[in-house]
Chain A
Amino acid sequence: MAKMRGATVVDTERCKGCGLCIVACPFKVLALSTKNVNQKGYNYAEAVAPDACTGCTSCAIVCPDGCITVYRKKED
C-alpha cells in the first residue's frame, strides 16, 4: 500500500495552546512552541516531527478553535 504523507498548517495567531491536538496525534507530530508565543501570549502548536505526519486529521478534528489545516498526499 502506498504510504500517506501529511502536512499540517497551524493558524498560530488563532491557536490558544490548549494542547488537545498534541495528545490526539497518534504520531507525536505536534508540540507547543517553547521559544515563541503569539500576540495573545499563548505558546502555539507546531509540527516538531513533520515527517511522521500521515494527514490523518486527528489533531484538526479535536482542535476547538479550528486552527489546523491538514493536507495529505500519496507517496509515489
Chain B
Amino acid sequence: MTKEEIIQPENLVYKKPELLNDTPMHYCPGCSHGVVHKLVAEVIAEMGMQEKTIAISPVGCAVFAYKYIDVDWQEAAHGRAPALASAIKRLWPDRLVFTYQGDGDLACIGTGETIHALNRGENITIIFINNAIYGMTGGQMAPTTLLGMKTATCPYGREPALHGYPLKVTEIAATLQGTCYVTRQSVQSVAAILKAKKAIRKAFEYSMQGKGSNLVEIVSTCNTNWRMSPVKANQWMEENMFPFYPLGDLKDNG
C-alpha cells in the first residue's frame, strides 16, 4: 500500500481541532497550554456549543488564548476571570462560560475571586493550568511552587520557613458547597490527555445543567522556566508534581 493510498479523506483519523484556528500559538515548544487548548476546542465542537460559548482568558502565558480558539472571549484583569465569568453567566445563562487560568492568576492574585465564585456555585467551569510557576513573567515562584523547587525568586529552592507552603486550591475547592465537580488531571501522555478531555466535557456539561461550579486542574509543565526539555519536563512532572498534586476526581456531585 502506498502512502498516497493511505492519505485519502476517507481514511482521516486525526486532525487539528476545527475550532483551533491556523494562527500559530505563541507558546514555547512542548508547552502543556497547547495540548489543553486542543482539548477545550474539541469538547466545545463535540458539544455543538461553538456559537454559545463565552470564554475568559487570564493574565499569564494564556493571555492570548482568544486568538487561537474560535469562540467568543473576554480578557480579564489579572486573577479576575471568575468574577467576570460569574457576571457573564448570570447575564447569559444559556451560554457555556468558562475561564482558563494559570496558577499565578488563579492561586495568587485571584485566590479571592476563585474561591468565592466557586463557593457561590456559579454555573461556570474553571480550567486551571498549574505549572507551579509564573511562566509569562520569567519563572518566579508561585503559591503552587513545590517545596525545594528552584525558581527565579527562590534560586536555592522553596523553603517553608521563608516562603510558606504550596497551596492546593483544588483540595480547598472540593470542600466548598458551591462546587459540583472538582478534578485534577494532566496531559503528559495519550491516556492522561484522553482522561483530561473527558473531565473537561463533564465539567462543561454540569455547568450547562446548572449544577454549580466546576474546577478542572491540569497539572502542567513549563519546560522553559523549569529549564529542561519538553520530554524531560513531562518526566519531572510525573516524578515531582504528581506525588504532591495527585491526579483524579476530588468531588463529583453531578
Contact = CB atoms under 8 A, between A and B. Distances in A.
Interface of A: 5-7, 9, 11, 14, 16-20, 23-24, 42, 50, 55, 57-58, 60-73, 75
Interface string B17-39: 10010001101111111110010
B25 to A, nearest CB: 6
A14 B193 CA distance: 21
Given A17-B29, A20-B30, A72 B35 contact: no
Contacts of A5: 1, 6
B30 A18 contact: yes
Contacts of B82: none
A57 B234 contact: no
A69 B14 contact: yes
Interface residues of B, number: 35
Contacts of B31: 64
Contacts of B234: 20
A20 B35 CA distance: 11
Nearest to B39: A61
Contact of B6 (A57, A60, A61, A73): A73
A55 B32 CA distance: 23
B190 A61 contact: yes
B16 A69 contact: yes
Given A18-B230, A42-B29, A62 B189 contact: yes
